[in-house]
Structure 1
Amino acid sequence: MNLSRRRFLEYCGIVAGTIGLTPEDLLGLNEALANPSAPEVIWLHGSSCTGCSVSFLNYISDTAPESVVEVLAGSINLTHHATVMTFAGESCGAVLEHAVKHGNYILVLEGGVPTAFDGLCCVAYSYKGREITYAEVVAEMALHASHVVCAGTCSCFGGIPAAGSNPSGVIRVAEHIAPVGTINISGCPANPNWVVWAIVQLLLGNTVALDSDGRPTALYTQSVGQNSKTTIHQTCPRKSSYQNNRATDIDDTVGKCLVNLGCRGQWTEAKCNGCWNGTEGNGHWCIGVNSPCIGCVEPEFPSSQSFFQSYSSGS
């Protein structure tokens, strides 16, 4: 595929405000992409529904460039992504082996790591007559990566695959590859803009400040007043309805606080209200479309508590 770097820069220019890129960032990105030694991006899939990739694909398709294939394969040198690549088996293994030998790649991981049954619950590919598990390839490739980015709550914290009885023994990536650090872009699915933001920051050589859960503070830490963190609840446009105008039925939610329908916004830190689905503004996130916040960016997600069970603490 022949894609100019101009198309990727055009995309970054369009969404610069939503993903926090300054004019200086765009200039630096242009210089980084002009460098023939720009790092490869290796994107691997473990225990997940591939929803983060699907969300990314759906988002990019409505803007320039037209697809995530164009962005990653043509602009930032994606060499492996199971959802969009055409090769498999020996060819797949050869690409990953080559990357490990040369290093200097960004490793993006989507999905938790199954550890039960010697990791055979999730086989990433077959190579030289042997099945290579996701657990094995993640451990090997993380050692040689310049950075490790976890896309989605499953890879960041275990998510849905690690919930309940967890018979496949799924754990979060950071636990599996410790002490190698990870940049966690949590969410179910991860916000496509945030994934782009993380990759762009790494291409620019910028240091990414992280919170105690390994998430970029630029994306997940909101503040109200001086030096005070806050939650989605504190910046929710429905906060004024918390005391006296709570929804009690899913058919009657417009303008009402959704806490009695299980909203977890009181415990959730993320800038979801800034941009979702490629559009800025409060109308394009979960609460904006009359759905409770399910706390999908948090380490405890999904938890054992029903999404529709009332949460009454907070203010």
Structure 2
Amino acid sequence: MNTIPSVNLSDFISNNSVRKQNFVDAIGKAYEEIGFVALKGHFLDNTLVENLYKEIKSFFSLPTEIKQKYEIPNIGGQRGYVSFGKESAKGKKEGDLKEFWHFGQYVQNNKQLENEYPKNVNVEELPEFNKIGKEAYLMLEKTAKYVLRALALYLGLEETYFDSYIYNGNSILRPIHYPPIKEEPKEAVRAAAHGDINLITLLMGAQGKGLQVQNNKGEWIDAIAQPDELMINVGDMLSRHTNNKLKSTIHRVVNPPKELWGTSRYSIPFFMHPVSDMKLNVLEGCIDDNTPKAFKDTTAGEFLTERLIELGLIKK
């Protein structure tokens, strides 16, 4: 497979059983073969998208000393600002050429989780920043819920199987700024080859070249979305849970050609995480004689902690 398949969520949420089943089959097949789809028909409208980009560009344009006051120590970068070069891919010592922000869950009716999750960080200089960020977070979370419902049906599970796990889940919205490149990078790229940790990732801002996906032959192919599409991929948690039936595909963001070094790039992934006590044990329906159980039992919380240590965001 050398292109990313495109699907439309309006087929799934239509009242037409044929269109709904076609969506389920198409997205399931894509996630078995390449691990990525481009999705139309999501819940983000154009005005919200424009406002979000305006706010994040304003934030990353702030002086470094102002941004750094929103970098909160001892929380593994889970909320607020993470400065340039702090994060590196698993197994890579060079820091990625990016800075980013984290919006986290807006917990409803659960004091325990309110205490477990770090608090969202309020940017004083930009009165609309947190409001617009929350609106986008909730619309991406809603989109992700329906994608997971389609995947539940594809896996032979009850349609709402994932709903209770993702309600108040530890999901993250991450606006990323890849600043202009000022000198020849020695080994670093904008985002080194990696798989995502979570269940699924919904990516805004994949228009234009930069994001690349590794197909089953090990070839790197460009993943370019249309302006009205989100790029959505499987993360390691869902891959484990399905015994690799659904693929968590390695992907990267490469540096632009030299003539474009002077430009910024922005992308906004939404990492859909479940609550930390969700068991990621391999589903019985994904084990057979040809595909024995490939992963030890673990929970989402244990797996996340393990990966954050590997990424250097949490110290042992």
Shorter chain as denominator, the TM-score bin is: under 0.3
Higher-Rg member (1/2):
1
Q: Which has the higher contact order (CA 8 A, sep 6+)?
A: 2
Greater share of residues in helix: 1
TM-score normalised by L of structure 2: 0.22
